[in-house]
Amino acid sequence: RKEVEQDPGPFNVPEGATVAFNCTYSNSASQSFFWYRQDCRKEPKLLMSVYSSGNEDGRFTAQLNRASQYISLLIRDSKLSDSATYLCVVMGEYGNKLVFGAGTILRVKS
């Protein structure tokens, strides 16, 4: 079993739609959680950290459920510029390296 699993998609949505991505992780001792965004042929960039209480950054909302070992990302009012691959990322229990999911592809269409 992969340490971090994501639905690969692609998710094809119209502009203005709300879309949600899910992710599960296997190591219950994981300490920190993130969503990264990766544009085609570019490096990953941090989108947002994920906190236990849930957190919001503009149109983006991240949730963490430690009991179920589940992370989610909700994007409201999708824009064309949101088209990218979204990577679920988990920091290991010793806090020294990140483990990446394979990514979920989002395509926003006009």
Partner 1 sequence: NAGVTQTPKFQVLKTGQSMTLQCAQDMNHNSMYWYRQDPGMGLRLIYYSASEGTTDKGEVPNGYNVSRLNKREFSLRLESAAPSQTSVYFCASRGTAGWYGYTFGSGTRLTVV
| Cβ closest to partner 1, residue 21 vs residue 34 | 34
Binding site for partner 1 (CB under 8 A): 4, 8, 32, 34, 42-46, 49, 87, 91, 95-103
| Cβ closest to partner 1, residue 54 vs residue 95 | 95
Q: Is the dihedral of CA 81, 88, 106, 54 positive or negative?
A: negative
| Closest separation in Å from C-beta 19 to partner 1 | 20
| Closest separation in Å from C-beta 52 to partner 1 | 15
| Closest separation in Å from C-beta 98 to partner 1 | 6
